[in-house]
């Protein structure tokens, strides 16, 4: 993978960190995105020491701020004229409703809208680098969703439920992948969604989840995959010939898997794309 430029969100810990480590060990240039500068610098040193790579960069990125997303994209494009692999890895789950800097419900705003904005800003670089790949980390948790309510994506009218909001955001990741793949047909850029497995990381345990949700996540920790194990499917989709020969698929345990009917709804995927564009436009106008 020498000469390959990769960008990974949430690369300072967990699956993102192990994905960065593996790609760096293969010789790729890896741009590690992190919200917290100190944690990002520590993660970059960790990968440097374990791989010996001198082709690592740190990029400040807070997916809860569209200003930060735009600044990160601009900073990347100032330094690189190509992007071979974009892995939208970062994500969170919340027990209580919160909002981003732009006023979006945080689970949807960070897990979907932040990545949607980043990806669209980098599409030209991906197209210039074809064959290239976009990988969106989704989850089997999308099966908790019974379809997106495009009129209440922010849970302003409905009572907030953290699990349901998370499931909706993961369904959004899959629908985004479906529509992205359709729009990129013929460009040489493929898009896939990935379920990493239930991984024992800091996910859900950084103070964002409390009460019953927090206790359940903590109790489940002993049965979870390691971050390195959780990175396997992302790496398979990032590097395998099989994933490069198709697009718009959902993967689990390094194999294609059928999402729910909601995740295969092409009309819903198009509607979500249009709604996402409108939401971002309204926040930046």
Residue 238: domain span: 5-284
Domain count, the chain: 1
- Look at residue 225 in the predicted model and tell me its pLDDT: 84
Residue 213 in this model has a pLDDT that exceeds 50 = no
Tens of pLDDT, residue by residue over 9-61, are 999 999 999 999 999 999 999 999 999 999 999 999 999 999 999 999 999 99
Predicted confidence band of residue 224 (pLDDT cuts 50, 70, 90): low
CA distance 158 to 141: 20
pLDDT of 217: 41
CATH number, domain of 118, equals 3.40.50.720
Mark residue 18 as left, alpha or beta (left: phi above 0; alpha: psi -120 to 50; beta: remaining).
alpha
Q: What is the dihedral sign for C-alpha 209, 226, 178, 32?
A: positive
Q: Report, as residue numbers or ranges, the catalytic residues.
A: 166
Average pLDDT, stretch 115-123?
A: 98
Mean pLDDT for the stretch of residues 190-216: 64
Residues 82-93: what's their mean pLDDT? 97
Closest CA to 35 of 18, 11, 6, 71: 11
Q: Let me know: does 81 contact 128? Beta carbons within 8 Å.
A: yes
pTM for the structure as a whole: 0.92
Give, for 133, the enclosing helix (H) or strand (E).
strand 132-137
Picking from 125-139, 162-176, 207-221, 260-274, which range would have the lowest pLDDT averaged per residue?
A: 207-221
């Amino acid at each position: 993978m020498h000469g390959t430029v990769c960008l990974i969100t949430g690369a300072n810990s967990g699956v993102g960190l192990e994905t960065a480590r593996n790609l760096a060990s293969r010789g790729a240039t890896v741009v590690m995105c992190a919200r917290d500068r100190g944690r990002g610098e520590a993660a970059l040193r960790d990968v440097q020491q374990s791989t010996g790579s001198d082709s690592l960069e740190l990029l400040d990125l807070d997916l809860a701020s569209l200003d930060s997303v735009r600044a990160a994209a601009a900073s990347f494009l100032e330094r690189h004229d190509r992007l071979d692999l974009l892995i939208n890895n970062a994500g969170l789950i919340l027990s209580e409703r919160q909002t981003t800097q732009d006023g979006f419900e945080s689970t949807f705003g960070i897990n979907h809208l932040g990545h949607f904005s980043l990806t669209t800003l980098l599409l030209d670089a991906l197209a210039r680098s074809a064959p290239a790949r976009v990988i969106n980390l989704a989850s089997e948790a999308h099966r908790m969703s019974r379809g997106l309510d495009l009129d209440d994506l922010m849970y302003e009218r409905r009572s907030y439920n953290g699990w349901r909001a998370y499931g909706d955001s993961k369904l959004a990741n899959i629908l985004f992948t479906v529509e992205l793949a359709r729009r990129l047909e013929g460009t040489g850029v493929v898009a896939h969604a990935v379920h990493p497995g239930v991984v024992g990381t800091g996910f859900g345990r950084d103070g964002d989840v409390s009460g019953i949700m927090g206790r359940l996540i903590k109790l489940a920790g002993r049965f979870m995959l390691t971050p390195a194990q959780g990175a396997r499917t992302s790496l398979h989709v990032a590097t395998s010939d099989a994933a490069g020969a198709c697009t718009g698929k959902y993967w689990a345990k390094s194999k294609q898997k059928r999402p729910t009917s909601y995740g295969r709804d092409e009309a819903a995927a198009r509607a979500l794309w249009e709604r996402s564009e409108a939401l971002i436009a309204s926040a930046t106008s």
